[in-house]
Amino acid sequence: MGAKGVSKGAGHPALCDVELVTVLSALAEPTRLRIVAMLSEPGGERAWKDIDLPIAQSTLSHHLKILRNAGLVRNRTEGTRCFVSLREEEMEGRFPGLLETVLHCRDR
């Protein structure tokens, strides 16, 4: 166990260890940007299975891992299910305004 009681293979990095370029790389991919935008909608948390995109399950898992490593999203396991959410406040502390600006630019 890393820092908290986290989910399976994950491991969430401390935001201070995350580089800006890592975050930008994570966001610079259409599918991942779409996931982040989806998670930013009201409701906050999203069940894994509710993220339905035209990609294989293993591909989605791969993208979520990249978003996790970039400190953008958080995994929470509840029983056999998994929930994903944005690390909005923490990202705001590390990279002020970044997430909000990117999301705002996305749907202008």
Q: Report the interface residues with DNA, using CB under 7 A.
A: 7-10, 25, 29, 31-32, 47-49, 54-66, 75, 79-82
Taking the CA atoms of the chain, what radius of gyration do you get in angstroms?
Answer: 13
- Residue 1 CB, nearest approach to a copy of itself (Å): 30
Interface map 28-67 toward a copy of itself (x if CB under 8 A): xxx--x----------------------------------
Q: Please say whether the dihedral angle defined by the alpha carbons of residues 9, 13, 70 and 83, taken in this order, is positive or negative.
A: positive
Residues 23, 98 contacting (CB under 8 angstroms): yes
CA 27 – CA 77 distance, rounded (Å): 24
Tell me which of a copy of itself, DNA, none is bound by residue 63, counting a contact when its beta carbon lies within the kind-specific cut-off of 5 to 8 angstroms.
DNA
